[in-house]
Every structure is written in C-alpha cells, then in structure tokens.
Amino acid sequence: MNYSARLDNLRRKLSSAKYDALVISELNNVRYLCGFTGTSGMLAITANEAYFITDFRYQSQAAEQVDPRYQTAIAEKGLWKETARLLKKLKVKRVGFEAEHTSVAALEDITKLLKPAEPISTQRIVEDLRVRKDADEIAIIQCAVDIIDDCFHYLCDMLRPGMTEIAIANEIERSIRERGASGASFTPIVVSGERGALPHGRASNKPIAPGDMVTIDMGALVDGYCSDCTRTICMGKPTREQQKIYELVWRAQTESSAALRPGLGCKEADAVARGIIDSGGYAEQFGHGLGHGVGLDIHEQPRLSKLGKGKLAPGMIVTSEPGIYIEGWGGVRIEDMIVITADGAQTLTHASKPRKIIAL
C-alpha cells in the first residue's frame, strides 16, 4: 500500500481546510493512512510532522506495520493525553478531530486537554480519500469477492430442505474461513419463505421448506477489506409469482449495473433500478437504496439512493442490490460488487445469477 501518497493527499486537504493539525481516531482510518491493524492507535498529523500514538501492548506491532514516515509515541496515560502533549509541543492552534467518531464525553476531554488550542469538528476527511480505491485495494477486494463466489457455488451443492437458517449461516462462516478469509465481513443473512421480507433479517431456527425462496447475503474479510454479495434461490420449482418477482429484481439489478459509469449521479443510478421496480407495481416494496460503497468498512461512501449525493468516479467500488420485500410472502434481493473504471464499470462478482431463479 502506498501510505506515503495517502499522507500527502491528507496533508493537501489539511492545508485547504486551514487546520494546523488533524487527529485521526477511527481505527480503519488509522489503518488506511499508516498500516496499523491493532485496536489501540491514533494519528496526529501536521504539515511537517506525523505521529502514530499507541500503548505498550502494540509497540512491537507498530514497529512492524506502521509506515516509516510516522514517528511512534507510546502513551503511558492514555492516547488522548499523549496526543495532546505532542500537539502542545508543536504549538498548534486549530486541531481537527473526527466528529462522527468522537463522543460528547471525549469532546469535553479533548477541549480540556488541548487548551489553548481550539478543537474543530471535521467530517469524513479521510473517508473522502478512501472512497476511490487504488490498484492494491481493488486486487484485495477481488480476492474477498472470489471467496464469496466460490462459497455460493458450494452452498448450491449442499443446501437441502430441512436445514435451518442458522445452520446455513454457520456453514457460510466456516466455508469463508476455509477458503482463506480472516472471517466474515458481517454476520451472514439467511432468510427463507415469509422471512425473506426482512431485508436484514437474522438467521433463525426456521427449517428451509420445499418451495421456499432463500435469500443469502454474505461477505468475506481479506486483509481488512470487505466483500458483499446476495443471491436468492428457490428450494424446488418456483411458482409463477416467485419467478415473476425474481425476474423483475434481476432486470433492475442487471440494467442498473450496466448503467454505472463515471459521472453518473448517485441518485440517477438508484433511479434506474427504482424505475424498473416501480413500473412492475412494487414501488412500496423497494424501500432501501440501490447500493453503497465497500472497502475497509462494509458500508462506505458513496450511497446510491434517492438521497445519494455526488457522482460516481473511477476507483469507486459499489454494490448494486435492488430488492422486493412483501410482508407475509417473502422477498428477493440480488447483489453484485462493481468497480467504476475510467470509461465504464466492471463487475467483480461472478456468482451465478441466471434470469431464471436457481432451483435446487
């Protein structure tokens, strides 16, 4: 990873915002900027200095992982106290901190510790850098996607009526690790029959019955990066209604994915899928957005939704996951991960999704 370039990019944002220093406390942002993967670490960055602050437990790990442009400081009385000590030594006046990752109690402590320096609330400074992935990140995410592709095909071979949703979810987690992931990027979603109407329903002890549609949403974690994939299958021959709704979602998913390209607005991307589902008579049953960014976090910017802001740009990795959810009946969702390229988009996901629902 090119941590040096990331630090330079952050410093340019620091300069344009006219901050003397920026404190990074969110751990995935810390990892993105310097490479540290532990659970106790902060960064303090100025135009000329870059500090990584941790505690004694991570001294050796920091020596192995943290980019050499950062000076490592070991905190004896807490990370914030050590960070404040370093910043006071540098005589900074305006210090940015991550408002979305700082509690009210922590802000009160920050204000006291930094006096007379002024703490300034910032939002998504590092996240805005993370939104466009570099070649190294895309390669890692592709590995995480490949694991899920393979896991899905394995599931299609082993699923049987009578298995419970929770048993399938547990098998997913085992299978993901067996294929080289450090774990699941989120708790797998397995919902069947009427429970398919729950977009983020947790797997239950319900047995899979013949004729049930089953929605499986799963992701793998590789080197800290996430993947995310959803497929809906049928345990046996589908009814006409099941096939009709599945095919409507399939059309919305494939056509909206094909529309993704640099310069397309996030709202406009969502509108492609929404227009197809609306025209089929299920406007009220598609209540979430088309998709979201994926990277070190399973949900990142950009957001492809009716409320989405901004436009797609090369390097962004997003999901395309429209769905229809009908209370008392069930639901369908199909999801791929897609990277925006210089002149279009490339689908990273290759798990089967034929126009006719997979019938096991």
Distances (CA, A) of 143 to 229, 275, 283, 350: 13, 33, 35, 12
CA distance 28 to 60: 20
**For residue 73, how far is the Cα from the chain centroid?**
30
Residue 321 phi/psi, 5-degree rounding, is -145, 60
Q: Which domains does the chain have, with CATH numbers?
A: 3-130 (3.40.350.10), 135-347 (3.90.230.10)
Structure letter (DSSP) for residue 359: B
Q: Give me the pLDDT at residue 15, please.
A: 84
Please state the length of the chain: 360
Contacts of residue 220, Cβ cutoff 8 Å, sequence gap at least 6: 144, 145, 147, 148, 151, 176, 179, 181, 183, 184, 185, 226, 227
Before 116, cis peptide (omega within 30)?
yes
Element (H, E) at 114: helix 104-114
Find out whether 195 and 206 touch, Cβ atoms under 8 Å. Answer: yes
Read off the pTM: 0.94
pLDDT in tens, the chain (360 residues): 999 999 999 999 988 888 899 999 999 999 999 999 999 999 999 999 999 999 999 999 999 999 999 999 999 988 989 998 899 889 898 999 898 888 888 888 888 888 888 888 888 999 999 999 999 999 999 999 999 999 999 999 999 999 999 999 999 999 999 999 999 999 999 999 999 999 999 999 999 999 999 999 999 999 999 999 999 999 999 999 999 999 999 999 999 999 999 999 999 999 999 999 999 999 999 999 999 999 999 999 999 999 999 999 999 999 999 999 999 999 999 999 999 999 999 999 999 999 999 999
Distances (CA, A) of 44 to 24, 148, 276: 7, 37, 48
Helix (H, G, I), strand (E, B) or coil at 206: coil
Nearest partner of 159 among 235, 242, 243, 239, judged by Cα: 235
Element (H, E) at 250: helix 240-259
